[in-house]
Amino acid sequence: MLKVLNIVGARPNFMKIAPIVREMQRRENDFLPLIVHTGQHYDAAMSNSFFTDLGIPAPDYHLEVGSHSHAVQTARIMTAFEPVILQEKPDWVIVVGDVNSTIACALVCSKLGVKVAHVEAGLRSNDRTMPEEINRLLTDQISDLLLTPSTDGDENLKKENIPERKIKFVGNVMIDSVFYNLEKSKESKIRDDLNLTENEYAVTTLHRPSNVDEKEVFTRLLDALIPVSDKIPIIFPVHPRTRKNIENFGFAEQVENSNIKLIEPLGYLDFMRLYSGARIVLTDSGGLQEETTALGIPCLTLRENTERPITITHGTNILVGTNTEKIKQSAFEILENDSKTDKKIPPLWDGRAAERICDALING
């Protein structure tokens, strides 16, 4: 039996770990899964709601590191996680995605000789100004098993001289959570609460510092979103840092007088129910690019690059950057076109990635 520590730190991690833990529990003769929550996402109420929505067991360890600078947070995760490794002596540690918890825990394991599997390996934005890109690059270099969500990930790793024996294309585990929870999300009353009709509203999320911490960039985005909201109402679950900057930059009155409705951040099932009924999604999120592709929902990514190019080549995603006119033009074209996209879901985005991940751990 393999003892596996599954690391979660921020909300995107929860959706990726949930199917893996569920599959390990199903294979109770093969796996003993434990969950380590680093506490990188420090909003306890939101973390708890995600655990509940996704059916994830309570963490076996909660490191409670909280919010700090990148260096301090990474260091605190490492010092808190090392005693867990020494106590549990796991056969594998699974890290997911590209947050500080990912690289911090991988580093501890690498120095202690504990095997690390990186789920969502090989993704590259090719923009090293993004902290997440540094986390991806370094985690992939020190992991023992690289579990990729798409074939471009395999190619990126090979170009970086990662031995092919370490690379395993397993598909996108985030989509496992989407398909598993889509029916359950219909129990949510969020659309009723907001008086929304399917396909007659848009959803926006913005949280990246490069978008919401720079007034000039945020201004360009609002100058695009407000005219789009004249065509279709926009529901905007607001990240705390984004709400703070709306106030600090003096945007509050402008937004209030538009057809953009600001709401509090949502739990997983409520948010799924919200975006799954949208006519269009405008976002700087990585995960939403994937989720909208899986569900065939047009998505405009408000970034200059993406580490998920397969959502463009095989999915419903369009990379529009932060150019006001390009965002408006792309949104208006989508809103004026009622025909469904002819793009297909990428290979192995079939809801069974967790099964292949568990197989790879057994064979690894």
Show which residues are catalytic: 207
Angle between helices 353-363 and 11-26 (to 10 degrees): 70
- For residues 104 and 15, the answer to whether their CB atoms sit within 8 Å is no
- For residues 228 and 202, the answer to whether their CB atoms sit within 8 Å is yes
Distance in angstroms (rounded) separating the CA atoms of residues 251 and 299: 24
**Token pair 């260096």 is at which residue?**
71
> In DSSP terms, which residues pair with 182 in a beta bridge?
none
Distance in angstroms (rounded) separating the CA atoms of residues 363 and 179: 26
Please list, in sequence order, all residues whose beta carbon lies within 8 angstroms of the beta carbon of residue 170, skipping any fewer than 6 positions away: 119, 147, 148, 149, 348, 353, 356, 357, 360
User: Tokens at residue 152, please?
Assistant: 């471009």
Task: List Cβ<8 Å contacts ≥24 apart for 186-194.
Answer: 186/273, 187/269, 188/269, 188/270, 188/272, 188/273, 188/274, 190/266, 190/270, 190/271, 190/273, 190/274, 191/273, 191/274, 191/277, 194/235, 194/261, 194/263, 194/274
Please list, in sequence order, all residues whose beta carbon lies within 8 angstroms of the beta carbon of residue 181, skipping any fewer than 6 positions away: 53, 54, 268, 269, 272
- For residues 238 and 265, the answer to whether their CB atoms sit within 8 Å is yes
- Give the DSSP H or E segment for 48: helix 44-54
CA-nearest of 283, 222, 282, 284 to 257 is 222
3-state SS, residue 77: helix
Residue 315 phi, psi (nearest 5) = -125, -155
Distance in angstroms (rounded) separating the CA atoms of residues 42 and 44: 6
